[in-house]
Amino acid sequence: MTLKTQKVHSAAEMFAKEHLEGKMDRREFMTRVSALGVATATAYSLIGANPAEAAGHSVKPSMGGTLRIQQEVRALKDPRAFDWSQMANITRGICEYLIEYQRDGSFKGILLESWEANEDATQYTLNVRQGVKFNNGDDLTAEHVAANFVAWADKNVEGNSMASRVAALVDEETGMAREGAIEVVDDYTVRLNLTAPDITIVPGIADYPSAVQHKDMIGQDIAEHGIGTGAYKIESYDVGVKAVLVKNEDHDYWGETYLDRVEFIDLGTDPAAWVAGAEADEFDMVYESVGDFVSIFDSIGWNKSEVVTAATVVIRPNQKAEVDGMMPYADKRVRQAIMLAVDNNVPLELGIAGQGIVAENHHVAPVHPEYAELPPLQRDVEKARALMEEAGMMDFEHEIISIDDDYRRNTTDAVAAQLRDAGFKVKRTVIPGATFWNDWTKYPFSSTNWNHRELGVQILALAYKSGEAWNEAGFENAEFDALLAEAVAIADADARREVMAKLQAIMQDEGVTIQPYWRSLFRHYKDGIVNAEMHPKFEINVHNLGFA
């Protein structure tokens, strides 16, 4: 065992001690130790748990069959620009990932056999799984992996959110991978040399826009070229209707897979249509069950899977947006007034039927290791009106836009109603999903759902760091960016929490967003389906699914 490996295992033993003493829950323990490169089985052995039972995958499916999944079928594009989990759930059968985030909080190597970080998280060594081939016959090598990192680091690609996930590899002058940052050590080893410590690298490359492509296909639509390491191929792809994957019999897949065919069936955004489809036997499992429809799916006898997450909805003003020649939300007083006019308990109840916990408008959740508890928020209509009047905006009509689904529409309605109660003029606009997602980052005032992320610093870097592709609030704050860079470099969650408290306070003080609740996520499926449990990040890996 090398000195570096000894230090990693010492850290893991310390985390295990904290877990056993009740200072850290199991998911946080698994996330911390597996991100360091400790194998899942080893991590569970440190706390005396059974890996198969804890991960929830103790039953192996039988071979064959067709599984039908209710899920939106969205137009595909360069995977780096994927902005919704539904896209990756379909293409994951073709293009796989280096690392996969598990339901229990651990990270599992897929195209990586293993990985290891140095003591201060400035260098990561990635060991590529040997014996893996692309379906065109080419071997997966370190050269392919390095090429993907180079592509992920390219900030010049429109919509490439991966650049924020690998920011410590990027040359700020060129907006591309820094020379020497990505090193091919040998045919199956890649070394990442970071400019500063970064504890988010492993979670970042486990996120859904990081599908690994053949080096010659990077930047292209997977549906158009079909080349990947996965066991499946696309038989048909009809946006808004249906996508079909079938097992690629011409490809010698490196792993195990079970189903012969997977159909993704798009029934729109209305959960009532999903229930009708279930009763008509049009599909076997749902992407997610929401709001009052959770109990309805219970009533028809389907199995229910639940997971507590940091998934949420934000109703945010866009600070850079122009409305009738002005920038209404560039004024901090207007943003603060909007936030003060809303009691977050109301959208929690009316938006998701109370299936979650109230949040605090800073997008860092109690499930995040570094979450800092701040004084509770209080609705203050009188102060909200005073700020809006001071800004000279009481006569301004706020148009709040949402998608036409159930929980996001209802959540946004609840916020709009409270703003009207405060005396503000509000217009509600509801847009069909097929149109809404085209410009989701550009609306002046709208609601968006956000997935669970393993670390609080991850979500702040993705959504609120200046200039990032997914910064839909148009928020730019030099102090915030500097504190975030400091937090990302701190491996110890307790020490990071001190900086996180400052970041969370800035979010609230600047009135960046109304972020009302943290969601419990639900999925329903028929008896006899194996490994269909709800994932904290909505992920569906068709390689694992099957029938008992």
Per-residue pLDDT of the chain (548 residues; tens, 9 = 90+): 444 555 555 656 656 666 666 666 666 676 666 666 676 666 666 666 665 555 445 578 999 999 999 999 999 999 999 999 999 999 999 999 999 999 888 899 999 999 999 988 999 999 999 999 999 999 999 999 999 999 999 999 999 999 999 999 999 999 999 999 999 999 999 999 999 999 999 999 999 999 999 999 999 999 999 999 999 999 999 999 999 999 999 999 999 999 999 999 999 999 999 999 999 999 999 999 998 999 999 999 999 999 989 999 999 999 999 999 999 999 999 999 999 999 999 999 999 999 999 999 999 999 999 999 999 999 999 999 999 999 999 999 999 999 998 899 999 999 999 999 999 999 999 999 888 988 899 999 999 999 999 999 999 999 999 999 999 999 999 999 999 999 999 988 899 999 999 999 999 999 999 999 999 999 999 999 999 999 999 999 999 999 99
| Nearest Cα to Cα of residue 370 among 175, 514, 243, 203 | 203
| Structural domains in the chain, sorted by start | 1-55 (no CATH), 308-520 (3.10.105.10)
Bridge-based pairing state of the strands 425-431 and 397-403: parallel
**CB neighbour list of residue 242: distance below 8 Å, 6 or more residues apart:** 73, 236, 263, 264, 265, 266
- Phi then psi for residue 468, to 5 deg, are -80, 155
Record the tokens describing residue 303, joined without a space: 């199995």
CA gap 53, 31 in Å, rounded: 17
Whole-structure pTM value: 0.86
Record the tokens describing residue 45, joined without a space: 């052995």
Quote the strand ranges of 269-392, DSSP E: 285-286, 303-317, 356-358
Q: Is 365 left (phi over 0), alpha (psi -120 to 50) or beta?
A: beta
DSSP string spanning 361-393? SSS--TTSTT----PPP---HHHHHHHHHHTT-
Specify whether the CB–CB gap between 188 and 142 falls below 8 A. yes
Residue 538, amino acid:
F
pLDDT in tens, 124-137: 999 999 999 999 99
pLDDT of residue 21: 60
Bridge-based pairing state of the strands 176-177 and 182-186: unpaired
pLDDT in tens, 305-357: 999 899 999 999 999 999 999 999 999 999 999 999 999 999 999 999 999 99
Give the angle subtended at the CA of 80 by the CAs of 79 and 81, to the nearest 5°: 85
